[in-house]
A and B are shown apart, each in its own frame.
Chain A
Amino acid sequence: MKFIDEFRDKNLVQEIVRRIRSLADTPAAIMEVCGTHTMAAARFGLKSLLPEQVQLISGPGCPVCVTAQMDIDAFLALGDEANVVLASFGDMLRVPGSQTSLERRRAQGTAVRIVYAPLDAVELARQEPGKHVIFFGVGFETTMPAIAMAIRLAASLRLDNFSVLCVHKTMPAALRALLASGEVRVSGLLCPGHVTTIIGAAAYDFIPQEFGIPCAVTGFEPLDMLLGIEAILRQLHEGRPRVDNVYTRAVQVQPNPRAQALLAEVFDPCDAEWRGLGIIPGSGVKIREQYDHFDARTRFPEVWQRLAPAPPSPCRCGEVLRGVLRPKECPLFHQACTPSQPIGPCMVSSEGACAAAYRYDG
Chain B
Amino acid sequence: MKHILLSHGAGGKEMTMLIEQVFLSRYGSQDFSKDDSATVLLGSHRLAFTTDSFVVDPLFFPGGDIGRLAVAGTVNDLLTAAARPLALSASFILEEGLEIDTLKAIATSMQQTAAECGVTIVTGDTKVVPKGSADKIFITTAGLGLVLRDGVSGAAALPGDKIILTGSVGDHGTAVMLAREKLLEGGEAIASDAAPLTDLVLSLIEAGCAIHTMRDPTRGGIAGSLNEIARQSQVSMEVEEALIPVNPAVAAACEALGLDVFKVANEGKMLIIVAPEDAARALELIQGKRYGTQARIIGAVGDKPAGRVKVRTTIGTSRILDPPSGDLLPRIC
A residues contacting B by CB (< 8 A) are 1-2, 4-5, 8-10, 13-14, 36, 42-46, 48-49, 63-64, 89-91, 93-94, 103-104, 106-108, 114, 116, 120, 138-140, 142-143, 194, 222-223, 338-340, 350-351, 358-362
A362:B314 contact, CB within 8 angstroms: no
With A1-B252, A340-B13 as contacts: A104 and B5 at CB distance below 8 Å: yes
B325: chain A residues within 8 A (beta carbon): 338-340
Tell me, rounded to whole Å, the shortest Cβ–Cβ distance linking B57 to chain A: 13
B183, closest chain A residue (CB): A116
B residues contacting A by CB (< 8 A) are 3-7, 12-14, 17, 181, 183, 246, 248, 251-252, 255, 257-258, 308, 313-320, 322, 325-333
A47, closest chain B residue (CB): B317
B333:A194 contact, CB within 8 angstroms: yes
With A339-B325, A359-B322 as contacts: A1 and B5 at CB distance below 8 Å: no
A1:B333 contact, CB within 8 angstroms: no
Tell me the bound Cα distance from A121 to B329 in angstroms.
17
A5:B314 contact, CB within 8 angstroms: yes
- Given contacts A91-B330, A340-B12, A340-B13, could you give 8 more A-B pairs where the C-beta distance is less than 8 Å? A8-B315, A91-B332, A94-B7, A138-B332, A143-B332, A340-B7, A360-B319, A362-B308
B183:A64 contact, CB within 8 angstroms: no
A104:B316 contact, CB within 8 angstroms: no
Tell me, rounded to whole Å, the shortest Cβ–Cβ distance linking B199 to chain A: 30
A108: chain B residues within 8 A (beta carbon): 3
B12: chain A residues within 8 A (beta carbon): 340
B258:A350 contact, CB within 8 angstroms: yes
A103:B7 contact, CB within 8 angstroms: yes
Tell me the bound Cα distance from A127 to B331 in angstroms.
24
Q: List 24 A-B contacts (CB under 8 A).
A: A4-B251, A4-B252, A36-B333, A43-B319, A44-B315, A44-B317, A46-B317, A63-B333, A91-B330, A91-B331, A91-B332, A103-B7, A104-B3, A104-B5, A114-B330, A120-B181, A139-B333, A142-B333, A338-B13, A339-B325, A340-B14, A350-B258, A350-B331, A362-B308
Q: Which of A2, A103, A142 contacts B5 (CB 8 A)?
A: A103
B329:A13 contact, CB within 8 angstroms: no
B329:A114 contact, CB within 8 angstroms: yes
B4:A90 contact, CB within 8 angstroms: no
A45:B322 contact, CB within 8 angstroms: no
B6:A10 contact, CB within 8 angstroms: no
Tell me, rounded to whole Å, the shortest Cβ–Cβ distance linking A48 to chain B: 5
With A48-B318, A339-B326 as contacts: A103 and B332 at CB distance below 8 Å: no
B320: chain A residues within 8 A (beta carbon): 359-362
Q: Which of A4, A46, A89, A104 contacts B255 (CB 8 A)?
A: A4
Tell me the bound Cα distance from A108 to B6 in angstroms.
12
B6:A103 contact, CB within 8 angstroms: yes
Tell me the bound Cα distance from A264 to B181 in angstroms.
30
B328: chain A residues within 8 A (beta carbon): 90
A91: chain B residues within 8 A (beta carbon): 329-332
Tell me, rounded to whole Å, the shortest Cβ–Cβ distance linking A356 to chain B: 10
B318: chain A residues within 8 A (beta carbon): 45, 48
A49, closest chain B residue (CB): B317
Tell me the bound Cα distance from A46 to B329 in angstroms.
24
